[in-house]
Structure 1
Amino acid sequence: MVNPSKIDEGGVQYSIGQFDGKTVTYDFNKILIYLDAKGKLLFGKEFKIYDDDHRVIFKLCNYFIKDEEMCAKNGIDPNKGILLTGPVGCGKTSLMRLLRHIVPLQRPYQVIPARNIVFGFNHIGYKIIEDYGDGQFYCFDDLGVEPIGRHYGKNCNVMGEVLLSRYDLFLKANLKTHATTNLSAQELEDMYGNRVRSRMRQLFNLVAFDENTNDKRK
């Protein structure tokens, strides 16, 4: 039997809780130890988990392990995706790349920079929007700072169209979408318009870093 409370990384087995054969009782402190180790493997030995980020990480962990009680306390709907916001360099992308590893039995999502999708549109056109309206799970990284798409002389707000497609998938098949952004709610509305912003409220749980969080890349 697979034990989802044990994860092997780099020849070391990490325990992130207790498994009774049916359910896992997770231990946040043990999860932090695992995330620190996995982060160093993914991003290099300089990676570290900062104490100031524990609040955000705790919310995200409860979401990914599907702790319904703690999600309810934090106003998180486990059926929606995550929109992780915060200032440049606070670690949003790293966390979204990292946290999917604490639930190895769950279906993984791909982290895709929003600008790459726009570049794809510029090259092959509207097929790229269809491609991301498929049955896969995605996390769109750096949402809202990508350029406007342009294909054969026609402009297109590519990510706005992709989000509308993802919203339709959410309604039809409860297919989750995640994203990270540096922008505020008003800036997102300015970028995508009121209709898309309204859909985003239904697609995403908003989880935010403090606006004064330091740039960890400096």
Structure 2
Amino acid sequence: MKYKAPHIITEGGVAYQLGKLRNHEIQYDFKKMLIYLDAKGKLLFGKKFKIHSEDQRILYKLCSYFIKDRDSCEKFGIDIEKGLLISGPVGCGKTSLMKLLRHMVPHQRPYEMIPCRNVVFGFNHLGYKTIEDYGNSCFFCFDDLGVEPPGRFYGKDCNVMGEVLLSRYELYLNTKRKIKTHATTNLNAQELEERYGNRVRSRMRELFNLVAFDKESRDKRK
């Protein structure tokens, strides 16, 4: 589907203009993007949803990534060819933001949100076909990486998400148009290495841009 005006998004009969179109290039306005994200968030998650002022800095980074603002991303050390690894404490809003931000760029290829525990449940039921299925050319965001249960199929243990990430890395490496993988996690870098090993952690550095919430971020679900 082609979008003649991807910077104008209509939700609930209201048109939100996220910027201006000049010479076939969108010049986004962050304040207008926040207005849209707040409105879309309320539609997705209920009237209690709000954009918190303390999250605007990290949200600016994420918005810059999604709209492919190369100059801003360069300042933040973000590679727009890589995926995102969003880390932060429980309840800080990682999952909600990743569910929300994909709606802001309807002209870009969407990703599917997949809870990591569902990937493991699939493996425990179907075996290695599950790992093959997630090593395909779709875009995924794996939610709650690192706290999924152990994988076991016909008596054999498997670090399922570790294997999926290795498959995604091979896919990323061997495609001209990079196949992106995103993820959210409550774990820090050391905990991820303990969970998946040094080899997977090394591949993750090449797969992902790390965008971290402050470790003191409050639980917004309370």
Q: What is the TM-score with the length of structure 1 in the denominator?
A: 0.99
- Counterpart residue type for residue 111 of structure 2: Y
Return 5+ residue gaps in structure 1 as ranges.
Answer: none
1:120 to 103, 115, 122: 122
> Is residue 2:180 matched to residue 1:185?
no
Q: Given residue 166 of structure 2, which amino acid in structure 1 is its aligned partner?
A: L
- 1:179-212 deviation per Cα after TM superposition (whole angstroms, max 9, x unaligned): 0000000000000000000000000000000010
**In structure 2, what is the equivalent of residue 6 of structure 1?**
8
Q: Which residue of 1 aligns with 2:203?
A: 199
Work out the CA distance in 2 between the residues paired with 1:207 and 1:15.
Answer: 27
1:18-60 Cα shifts (integer Å, max 9, x gaps): 0125000000000000000000000111100000000110000
Provide the C-alpha distance between the structure 2 equivalents of 1:205 and 1:20, rounded to a whole number of angstroms. Answer: 29
Corresponding residue pairs, total = 218
* CA–CA distance in structure 2, aligned partners of residues 91 and 65 of structure 1: 20
Matches within 5 A, 1:33-182: 33-173=35-175, 174-182=178-186
Paired letter, 1:26: Y
Q: Note the C-alpha offset of 1:109.
A: 0.1
Post-superposition CA distance 1:84-142 (Å, at most 9, x none): 00000000000000001111000000010000000000011100000000010000000
Among candidates 206, 213, 221, match of residue 209 of structure 1: 213
Kindly indicate whether the alpha-carbon contact (under 8 Å) linking 1:4 and 1:19 is maintained by their aligned counterparts in 2.
no
Paired residue secondary structure (2:24): coil
TM-score for both structures, normalised by structure 2: 0.97
Tell me how far apart the structure 2 counterparts of residues 21 and 137 of structure 1 sit (CA, whole Å): 29
Q: Indicate the SS of the match to 1:142.
A: strand
Once residues 50 and 164 of structure 2 are traced to their aligned partners in structure 1, the CA distance between those partners, rounded to angstroms, is 33
Contact map agreement 1:115 1:147 (CA 8 A) in 2:
yes
Indicate the RMSD between aligned Cα atoms, in angstroms: 0.7
Secondary structure in 2 matching 1:163: helix
Q: Which runs of 5+ in 2 are unaligned?
A: none
For 1:197 and 1:161, how far apart are their aligned partners in 2?
12
Q: What is the rounded CA distance, in whole Å, between the counterparts of 1:143 and 1:98 in structure 2? A: 19
8 Å contact 1:85–1:209 — kept in the other structure?
Answer: yes
- Cα distance in 2 for partners of 1:172, 1:22 equals 31
